[in-house]
């Protein structure tokens, strides 16, 4: 477990480093050695308002951070140079296309997925169908389609699904909310390995599950006993077979503390 501190908005890894995003005025990104877990340095995101997620691009050696109040994506290189571009919707989460290196932004409130070039040019916008209510996170697959998770309090459907490039659902894993095996209670964030196996942060059930590329249930990789707090964000270090899971403590309606827990997978 990495050090506790301010609530964590995102976690990612790049080469031999782990990056943790916290909501504070300066030094928002903490950089740790991925082998020793020692703190190395800090990065600051200028002009930031409110963070909701972070991801990394191995090709361009940079971080992407989404800002829900400024409605933008910040791009931060590893020597602290920063740029940003507007999303024109409230961004919720991010992922990077491993083949094209484009940035996929999930806009929860608008029910859209937006794909941007690494420089911030809008490449396409996908309006999700009515059945995909409250989309939390989407990752673009090698086929050009997406895998996404959606559903929150009061929604009849809490699930992980694959979609065609135009947003039509092609396959789904479970529909109704619940706590039984194969069910979800707010599936909140995803990580996909090189073989397109899928890790799912099941927020209110306090666990992480594993699905096959065809969305068959393979098992629980993080149990509720291992998560005192709810999981919010995932990052898979495929090279080291490490799964980084963010968790925040919530008291009286406010997030008070945050941490990243490291699991061998």
Domains of the chain in start order, with CATH, are: 46-264 (2.120.10.30)
pLDDT at residue 97, rounded to an integer? 94
What's the pLDDT band for 81 if we cut at 50, 70, 90? confident
Beta strands in 68-213, from DSSP E residues, in sequence order: 72-77, 82-86, 93-96, 103-107, 112-116, 122-127, 135-140, 146-150, 159-163, 169-173, 187-192, 198-202, 207-211
Please state which of the ranges 41-50, 171-180, 216-225 shows the lowest mean pLDDT: 171-180
Residues 143-154, mean pLDDT to the nearest whole number: 95
State the pLDDT at residue 145: 94
Per-residue model confidence (pLDDT) at position 96: 98
Counting residues of the chain whose pLDDT is more than 70, the rounded percentage is 100
Residue 175 has pLDDT above 80, yes or no: no
Q: What is the average per-residue pLDDT within 96-107?
A: 95
């Amino acid at each position: 477990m990495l050090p506790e501190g301010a609530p964590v908005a995102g976690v990612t890894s790049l080469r031999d480093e782990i990056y943790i995003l916290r909501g504070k005025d300066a030094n928002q990104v903490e950089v740790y050695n991925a082998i020793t877990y020692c703190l190395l340095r800090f990065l600051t995101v200028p002009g930031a308002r409110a963070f909701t997620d972070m991801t990394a691009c191995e090709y361009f050696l940079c971080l992407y951070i989404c800002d829900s109040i400024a409605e933008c994506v910040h791009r931060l290189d590893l020597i602290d140079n920063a740029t940003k571009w507007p999303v024109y919707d409230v961004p919720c989460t991010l992922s990077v296309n491993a083949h094209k290196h484009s940035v996929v932004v999930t806009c929860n409130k608008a029910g859209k997925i937006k794909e941007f070039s690494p420089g911030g040019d809008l490449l396409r916008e996908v309006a999700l169908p009515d059945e995909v209510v409250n989309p939390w996170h989407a990752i673009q697959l090698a086929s050009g389609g997406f895998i996404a998770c959606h559903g929150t309090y009061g929604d009849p459907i809490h699930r992980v699904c694959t979609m065609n490039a135009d947003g039509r659902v092609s396959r789904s894993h479970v529909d109704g909310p619940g706590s039984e095996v194969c069910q979800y209670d707010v599936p909140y964030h995803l990580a996909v390995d090189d073989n397109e196996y899928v890790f799912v942060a099941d927020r209110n059930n306090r666990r992480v599950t594993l699905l096959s590329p065809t969305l068959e249930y393979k098992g629980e990789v993080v149990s509720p006993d291992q998560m005192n707090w709810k999981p919010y964000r995932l990052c898979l270090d495929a090279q080291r077979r490490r799964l980084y899971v963010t968790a925040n403590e919530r008291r009286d309606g406010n997030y008070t503390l945050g941490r990243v827990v490291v699991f061998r997978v």
